[in-house]
Structure 1
Amino acid sequence: MKNLKTTFVLLALSFIALSSCKKEEKDLNENLNPIGSLTLPQNQQSIKLTPANTQATQQFKWTAANAEDGGLILYEVAFDKESGDFSKPVYKVLSDAAGVQPQVTITHKDLTKIAALCGINSSSTGNIKWTVIASKATNKKPGQESRILQVERPAGFVEVPANLYLTGSATEAGDDLTKAVKMKKLDEGIFEIYTTLKPGTYQLIDQTTSSARKFFTEGALVKEGTNTITVTGTAKVYYLKYDFNVATVADAVEVQGLGLYMSAYGNEIGQLTYTSNGTWQSGNIPVVFYQFSWGRDERYKFAMHTSAGIRYLGSSNVNNVSPVGQGAAYFYLNAVSNDQWNNTYKFNPSADNKNVKVVLSLNADGPYTHTVTTQ
């Protein structure tokens, strides 16, 4: 009997709870008014896009829409071609704060993508149309106003490669895609390499598979396509630098030699020979510290002879210490000035009046660096 009473009480409570829920049910009010007006940017405003600058942005603002019940409204900024009607926008983006705020900040990089979707080519100027769509639940209301934004695209690719390789008969790795020579990534869309090129052809690829995007150069421009670059003459060592943000060959010089420069003598005391994969090494180089009145001087750096002149590689430290007890970063290589004394390294004290062997690595496998071994 006790169990029956308990069951009856529980059923009664459940009935009361269900009745209460039914009384509190309300139909969802999805009614809202469209946004009032667009405020930023001004209609027909002109913007020169700089997608390579990660800090470059454009803010879009509008007056808020109103919901009849005061509920939450979400906003999307919609972009379309100048002739479009937003029935199929080429691009949409939620406003700031996950779609709640009546504004959004868009990077120049994303605006460059939008410009491309609207048919505006690189190195061209064109118009983009934009408006704001307000929504509450399933109810969406496009703004009653749209504006034109005039954008100027620089030369460059909308999607820059994440990685870059050289492949082809002219390269150190030949035609085997899986062995393509990787370039060092300096920044988004910027790559460089020290490598040998011999008679043959090569191209740039973004991955070592058959589905890779392919690029080639035409004068100072980088273009996408299956064309190849032809190399003639004898095999030579080159330094190549590409900037896909502006689609240009940023630098291309022949590396004619690499010397070990000793500051106190103001001269190179030995030469290194290129082997492969951005690596140079020396034979035995005699080292004699220079005798000053205050002591013996052991400072050195590297002089790279190119078809465009001498370039120096040295330490990031203007005034350096002894390498004894220092970590691997002590030997990292950086582009430095031709100053006789600054940004130099110091030989280990054991190298005085001895021979040294030097290996210098400028490849994509890690930081640019070098080793000095006393013989």
Structure 2
Amino acid sequence: MKNLNRIFALILLVCLAVVSCKKEERDLNENISLVGTLSLPVNQASIKLTPSNAAASQQFKWTSATPEDGGLILYEVAFDKEGGNFSKPVFKIVSDGGGVQPQVTISHKDLTRIAALCGINSSSTGKVNWTVMASKASNSKVGQEVRTLQLERPAGFAEVPTDLYLTGSATEGGDDFAKAVKFKKLEEGVFELYTSLKAGSYILTDKPAQAGRKFFAEGASIKEGATGITVSGSTKAYYLKYDFNVASVIEVSEVQSVGLYMSAYGNEIGQLNYTSAGIWQSGIIPVVFYQFSWGRDERYKFAVHTASGVKYMGSSNVNNVSPVGQAASYFYLNSVTNDQWNNTYKFNPSADNKNIKATVNLGGDGPYSHTIVTQ
């Protein structure tokens, strides 16, 4: 009997424990009101897009939706083609604050992508629709108000390449995509390259692989496609510069020579010859510092002669110090003015009345640089 009582007591305790562990359950209230009035931009607003300007943007604003239980609502601005019903928006972007604020700032770069997705071509104007979608948990509602934007796209690509390569039979890497020559990225969508070209053809691509997007130049314009650009004649060094923001060929010029310019003489004291991979090397160049009343002058920089004119490469420092003990960055090459004295380097004092060999490296996508070796 005592054992039965003990078993009954244990069962009762277990039942009480289970009951006490149950949590109070409530249905989640997912009801929300529709988004209120759209306030910015005004309906039928016209925007001239400038995607190359990183600071260019447009703010979108609306009045908040209201949850029945006061909970958190998330917002997305949705875009669709003119006449679309937002059942499958072409583009959506979460509002500021991780989706909780009734506003969002969208860059002109993204608006250019939206225009392209809605069928607006470069150098064209067209209309897109936008609205706001509010959601709480699994409940999502599309705003009742829809506004129209008129977007004017400039010449250029909605999606500019992140990287750019040169490949083809006319290039130093040949037809092997894995050996494509990489451009130096100057800024978003703008690339330059010092290389050599021989008889054959080349294309531009955003990846060193067959699957990459391909581009070619037609006159002063860049177009997407695998049409090869033909090169004839003997092998020559070239400078190439492209701006995909405006789909323009900025420059394709033969590099005729690279000279070592010494400031005090106001002249080039030696020439460098192209080897490969954007590198020029000199033979023996005699160096004699110029004698002024105050001392001997050792300043120099480089002159790159192209079919389009002379580009001077020098120091980022207007007034420089001796190279002795300086970091590698001292020898970095930057585009500078033709000023006779400013933005120059100084030879090592040991180079006076000696021979030197100079190397200029304008290859790769890292900093350009040079070396001076006293013989």
Amino acid at match of 1:98: G
Equivalent residue for 2:84?
A: 84
Q: 2:17 aligns with which of 6, 10, 13?
A: 13
Matched, 1:105 2:109: no
Matches within 5 A, 1:131-150: 131-150=131-150
Q: In the aligned structure 2, how far is the partner of 1:178 from the partner of 1:29?
A: 57
Q: What does residue 370 of structure 1 align with?
A: 370
Is residue 42 of structure 1 aligned with residue 42 of structure 2? yes
Q: How does 1:294-313 map to 2 (within 5 A)?
A: 294-313=294-313
Look up the SS of the partner of 2:234 in the other structure: coil
| C-alpha distance in structure 2 between counterparts of 1:298 and 1:3, whole Å | 105
SS of equivalent residue, structure 1 residue 15: helix
> CA contact under 8 A between 2:185 and 2:365: conserved in structure 1?
no
CA distance in 1, matches of 2:304, 2:62: 56
Shifted more, 167-176 versus 328-337: the winner is 167-176
1:338 is aligned to 338
Q: Is the 8 A contact 2:164 2:182 kept in 1?
A: yes
Q: What amino acid is the match of 1:349?
A: P
Query: 1:141 and 1:309 mapped to 2: Cα distance?
Result: 61
What's the offset of the Cα at 1:7?
7.0
In structure 2, the residue matched to 1:358 is: 358
Structure 1 stretches of 4+ with a deviation exceeding 3 A read 1-11
Moved more, 312-321 or 157-166: 157-166
Question: Following the alignment from structure 1 to structure 2, what is the Cα–Cα distance between the partners of residues 152 and 3?
Answer: 85
Normalised by the length of structure 2, the TM-score is 0.95
User: Offset at 1:203?
Assistant: 0.8
Q: What CA deviation, in whole Å up to 9, does each residue of 1:215-251 have, x standing for no partner?
A: 1000011111011101123332111001111111122
SS at match of 1:172: coil
Instruction: Look up the SS of the partner of 1:70 in the other structure.
Output: coil
Q: Which amino acid aligns with 1:114?
A: I
Q: Secondary structure at the match of 1:276?
A: coil
How many Å apart are 1:136 and its aligned residue? 2.2
Deviation (angstroms), 1:256: 0.8
Question: Does 130-139 or 265-274 show the bigger shift?
Answer: 130-139
- Output aligned runs, 1:95-174, within 5 Å: 95-174=95-174
1:188 maps to what in 2? 188
Q: What's the offset of the Cα at 1:140? A: 2.1
Q: Distance in 2 between matches of 1:245 and 1:126?
A: 19
2:183–2:365 CA contact under 8 A, matched in 1 = no
Q: Is the 2:75–2:132 contact (alpha carbons within 8 Å) kept by the matching residues of 1?
A: yes
Read off the aligned partner of 1:212 and give its amino acid letter.
G
Percent identity of paired positions between Structure 1 and Structure 2: 69
Give me the whole-angstrom Cα distance separating, in 2, the residues matched to 1:327 and 1:10.
Answer: 76
Which whole-Å CA distance do the structure 2 matches of 1:57 and 1:122 have between them?
A: 18
Q: Paired residue for 1:179?
A: 179
* Alignment of 1:329 onto 2:333: no
How many angstroms does 1:77 deviate by? 1.1
In structure 2, distance between residues paired with 1:211 and 1:97: 37
Q: Which residue of 2 aligns with 1:222?
A: 222
Name the counterpart of 1:277. 277
Per the alignment, in what secondary structure is the counterpart of residue 61 of structure 2? strand
Secondary structure of the structure 2 residue equivalent to 1:33: coil
CA distance in 1, matches of 2:269, 2:112: 51
Are 1:213 and 2:217 an aligned pair? no
| Structure 1: stretches of 5+ with no match in the other structure | none
Which aligned pairs between 1:196-207 and structure 2 lie closer than 5 A?
A: 196-207=196-207
Deviations 1:168-203 (A, max 9, x none): 121122222221211111222211111111221111
Deviation at 1:10, TM superposition (A): 5.1
For 1:155, the aligned partner's letter is A
Q: Distance in 1 between matches of 2:104 and 2:157?
A: 24
Shift of 1:366: 2.7
1:3: how far off?
Answer: 8.7
**For the residues of structure 2 that align with 1:259 and 1:3, how far apart are their CA atoms?**
104
